[in-house]
Amino acid sequence: MVQEIEYKQVGKFEETKFEKIHNEIFSSSLHASKLVAHEIAKLIKQKQQEGLHCVLGLATGSSPIKVYEELVNMHRSGELSFHNVITFNLDEYYPIDRDHQQSYYHFMHQHLFNHVDIMPENIHIPDGSILLEEMDQYCIDYELKIKKYGGLDFQLLGIGRTGHIGFNEPGSHPNSGTRVITLDHITRSDAASDFNGIEHVPKKAITMGINTILKAKRIILLAWGHKKAPMIKDTIEGTVSSSVPATFLQNHQNITLILDDEAASELTRIKTPWLVGQCIWTEKLRLRAVTWLSELLNKPILKLTDKDYNEHGMSGLLAIEGSSYELNIKIFNHLQHTITGWPGGKPNADDTHRPERALPKKKRVLIFSPHPDDDVISMGGTFLRLIDQGHDVHVVYQTSGNIAVTDQEALKFAEVFNAFTNSPNSSKFQETISFLKSKKTSDRDSDAILKIKGLIRRMESLGAIRHLGLSDDKVHFLDLPFYETGRVKKKPLSREDITLTKNIIEKIAPHQLYAAGDLADPHGTHKICLDAIFAALKDLKSSTFMDDCWVWLYRGAWQEWDVSEIDMAVPLSPDEVTKKTNAILHHQSQKDRVMFQGEDSREFWLRARERNKNTAILYDALGLADYEAIEAFKRYIY
């Protein structure tokens, strides 16, 4: 039975003393979404009993999808009718046609309206095809319609990385109403993969204004994942300002922010609880606090003093530990013990304080790589060491990675095949070549093109692992079905994906299993690949080989673990860094014109290099040895 969201009084408790908006934090975004759906359903039913309309302001994007799913489930089970519901959507791209795959009109029908009994005339979504000269009147009418129905009873919101609500980008005025707005570059680049490139993302949008939103009687804002964490901190703790439009929500009297652990991770009470009040000093928290203090004061751990601790909210910790001297040594030793040049364990050495076991000397190692290049990008140096130190290393590429190859790259290969074969069969390539030459960005790739793109990535990964010294028979390609849509949007994880993952683990029976541990990326391929591994591990729990299998998580291309989370730090020599870089460079299709670049314009080899160098700099700054580069891992206990 789903319970209702519990409302607390903000400011009443010491732990929320920095916070100006009521918020609730959940470990699962699914559970949180269900609670929100139930609050909406309760409101709809209450209005039904009173014989009234229920006026809902709705959002699009990834955040509300599970709320809509739950509402649809409730409708399907006969529990909820939408016959009295009137909806107003927050926004729409401009210009855009209704039937464009990325229009919010399409989104809302796909996720909600097509599956419930709402009356079509009760649905209002800003029209992205309105003529510019009619726009002003159109926006005034949109506002008037909301007013005519008595205003919004409930408004659902997401938040953009610019701090936008609706599409009210930085600079938006608190008195703003529905209008056309120019989208911020960050917003457009976040939408780039949905539109197959930033150049196809509309430059403008129609959006309800801040004032329209604030007039709603009840507001819930949803935020999931690490990417949202900085904006959530600003929204909840920052000063009200149009540079972060979501801060205007601080002026609303009936609002709740619903967050998952990652989105809440930058809040002061979560990130640095010692600055807020009394803490329960677990080992993990001590480690976090001391490394934080050392970084903040730019002082090696062994040089931190009682005064430093007392002045930064840690007198309680000092009282437990006795003195800064004791505490410093303890944390220093912990970090020292994470460092090893023997990621597979050091044979014939005392392993009491080593991250890995000494035995068995030769381990079977299974490296899972979600895309065909994550292995070398995130752990190329460790990969190399495991091979060089004589372990039986296998690499498993979980997905084909085919959608990340450009049409130009595929065309190049198709033309090479064609020119080389120069035989009657070549007509097959001729067709592919013509298709590629005339392809529009919105066209889905044909199966032949997807095959070519997948093969390009396969051959690149073979080149990379051969460069590291691994033989081809140690390479396994799973081509997990969830990925094979030919589009950015993937299928949900299926039993087939889990079975394929389980079979390969069973076949290799590893002592060490490495996986991309991007726990925080709720929609991406890495998270689905990790879910497949976790589900497989659960199924395999009773197999005897699993008693001996340790799981190590590496981070994907974008971020590194926080130093307090690192359980194994593998230093790399300058030569190893070069070899790793060259392995990454085998992935030619991911160079120069990479399809899903995000905002970081550095190429993968450079990102990997800088990230590993920065981890080494951090260890050095904490007072540990000065290495060229470090790859970091977190042990996952299942």
Q: What's the CA gap between 590 and 587, in Å, rounded? A: 6
Please tell me whether residue 59 binds ligand F6R under the rule CB under 6 A: yes
DSSP 146-171: HHHTTS-SEEEE---TT--BTTB-TT
Q: Shortest distance, CB of residue 152 to ligand F6R, whole angstroms?
A: 14
Query: Pick from 20, 37, 61, 201: which binds ligand F6R (CB under 6 A)?
Result: 61
Range in contact with ligand F6R (rule: CB under 6 A) among 2-10, 154-162, 575-583, 614-622: 154-162
Type of residue numbered 20: K
Count CA atoms within 13 Å of residue 384 on its CB side: 25
Q: Shortest distance, CB of residue 62 to ligand F6R, whole angstroms?
A: 4
Query: Pick from 19, 39, 70, 91: which binds ligand F6R (CB under 6 A)?
Result: 91
Q: What's the CA gap between 283 and 279, in Å, rounded? A: 12
Active-site annotation holds for 610: no
Q: Shortest distance, CB of residue 492 to ligand F6R, whole angstroms?
A: 18
Range in contact with ligand F6R (rule: CB under 6 A) among 130-138, 156-164, 280-288, 403-411: 156-164
**What is the number of the residue whose Cβ is closest to ligand F6R?**
158
Query: Pick from 158, 209, 313, 355: which binds ligand F6R (CB under 6 A)?
Result: 158
CB 90 within 8 A of CB 187: no
* Nearer Cβ to ligand F6R (252/288): 252
| Token representation of residue 434 | 């013509």
Please tell me whether residue 95 binds ligand F6R under the rule CB under 6 A: no
Query: Pick from 90, 123, 201, 210: which binds ligand F6R (CB under 6 A)?
Result: 90
Burial 24-52 (b: 16+ CB within 10 A, else e): bbbeebeebbbbbbbbbbebbeebbeeee
| 76 burial type by CB count under 10 A (0-12 exposed, 13-18 middle, 19+ buried) | exposed
Q: What's the CA gap between 442 and 439, in Å, rounded? A: 8
Q: What's the CA gap between 622 and 83, in Å, rounded? A: 62
Q: For Cα atoms 410, 395, 486, give the angle at the middle one, nearest 5 degrees.
A: 35
Terminal-to-terminal C-alpha distance of the chain: 27
* Nearer Cβ to ligand F6R (165/257): 165
Nearest to 115 by CA among 156, 79, 150, 71: 71
* Nearer Cβ to ligand F6R (389/525): 525
| Token representation of residue 509 | 């029976």
* Nearer Cβ to ligand F6R (201/331): 201
* Nearer Cβ to ligand F6R (225/571): 225
CB 226 within 8 A of CB 232: no
Q: What's the CA gap between 196 and 200, in Å, rounded? A: 7
Q: What's the CA gap between 415 and 446, in Å, rounded? A: 16
Please tell me whether residue 160 binds ligand F6R under the rule CB under 6 A: yes
| 489 burial type by CB count under 10 A (0-12 exposed, 13-18 middle, 19+ buried) | exposed
Query: Which position among 19, 70, 92, 169 bears the catalytic label?
Result: 169
Q: Shortest distance, CB of residue 158 to ligand F6R, whole angstroms?
A: 2
Please tell me whether residue 332 binds ligand F6R under the rule CB under 6 A: no
* Nearer Cβ to ligand F6R (61/372): 61
# binding residues, ligand F6R (CB under 6 A): 14
Q: Shortest distance, CB of residue 222 to ligand F6R, whole angstroms?
A: 7
* Nearer Cβ to ligand F6R (223/465): 223
Please tell me whether residue 245 binds ligand F6R under the rule CB under 6 A: no
Q: What's the CA gap between 461 and 380, in Å, rounded? A: 12
Type of residue numbered 533: I
Binding mask 10-49 for ligand F6R (x = CB under 6 A): ----------------------------------------
Range in contact with ligand F6R (rule: CB under 6 A) among 55-63, 240-248, 505-513, 577-585: 55-63
Query: Pick from 68, 105, 167, 274: which binds ligand F6R (CB under 6 A)?
Result: 167
- DSSP 8-state assignment for residue 184: P
* Nearer Cβ to ligand F6R (162/369): 162
Q: Shortest distance, CB of residue 61 to ligand F6R, whole angstroms?
A: 3
Query: Pick from 43, 152, 165, 414: which binds ligand F6R (CB under 6 A)?
Result: 165
* Nearer Cβ to ligand F6R (164/391): 164
Binding mask 62-81 for ligand F6R (x = CB under 6 A): xx------------------
* Nearer Cβ to ligand F6R (222/533): 222
| Token representation of residue 554 | 């590496």
Query: Pick from 75, 164, 226, 634: which binds ligand F6R (CB under 6 A)?
Result: 164
Pairing mode, strands 123-124 and 550-554: unpaired
Q: What's the CA gap between 628 and 625, in Å, rounded? A: 10
Count CA atoms within 13 Å of residue 267 on its CB side: 26
Q: What's the CA gap between 560 and 566, in Å, rounded? A: 9
Q: Shortest distance, CB of residue 194 to ligand F6R, whole angstroms?
A: 9
Nearest to 205 by CA among 69, 102, 303, 349: 102
β-sheet with 392-397: strand ranges across: 475-477, 392-397, 364-369, 512-516, 550-554, 629-636, 568-572
Residues annotated as catalytic are 169
Interface with ligand F6R (CB under 6 A): 59-63, 90-91, 158-160, 164-167
